[in-house]
Every structure is written in structure tokens, then in C-alpha cells.
Amino acid sequence: MKFMKQIYDHKLRFAKTVALFLAYFTLGLNLGILGPTILDLQIAVNATFNHVTWVMPSRAGGYALGSFICKPVN
């Protein structure tokens, strides 16, 4: 019961915590999906494995570049 009272008293803080958890959860799913599906992607686009594997470093580079460019929000 004390746990529920804490949530009720700090609704905005709890909502931010849930939103942050969901953001990191979906980011993890997004980053983890390419590995198991790389061979299916190769078949879908009818390319060689060497061409398809360029997706991984390209995505990582774009993710890093976007992180550096992004302006922090207060």
C-alpha cells in the first residue's frame, strides 16, 4: 500500500520513469533486431552478404552522428 501511495503522490515522476523505461526498452529492441534478421534482409533485397553487412556500421555511424548533433533538451 505504501508503494501505491508513493506513485499517487508523485504521478509526474512515475510517468517520466515509465516513459524513460519504455524509450530504452524500444531502443534495445531496435538495436538488437538487425543481427538475427540480417540473412532474411539479404534474401529480401537480393544482395550479397558483404553488401548487406554494411548496414550495421552505417546504422552505428548514423546513431553516433545523431547523438553528437542532437541538442540537449532541458
Of all residues in the chain, the percent with pLDDT exceeding 90 is 51
Q: Residues 45, 68: one domain?
A: yes
Q: Does residue 52 contact residue 41 with C-beta atoms inside 8 Å? A: yes
Q: Residues 21, 44: one domain?
A: no
Domain count, the chain: 2
Q: Does residue 26 contact residue 16 with C-beta atoms inside 8 Å? A: no
4-25: pLDDT as tens digits: 888 888 889 999 999 999 999 9
pTM of this structure:
0.61
Structural domain boundaries, residue 24: 1-32
Q: Residues 13, 1: one domain?
A: yes
Q: Residues 73, 40: one domain?
A: yes
Q: Residues 26, 41: one domain?
A: no
Q: Residues 74, 41: one domain?
A: yes
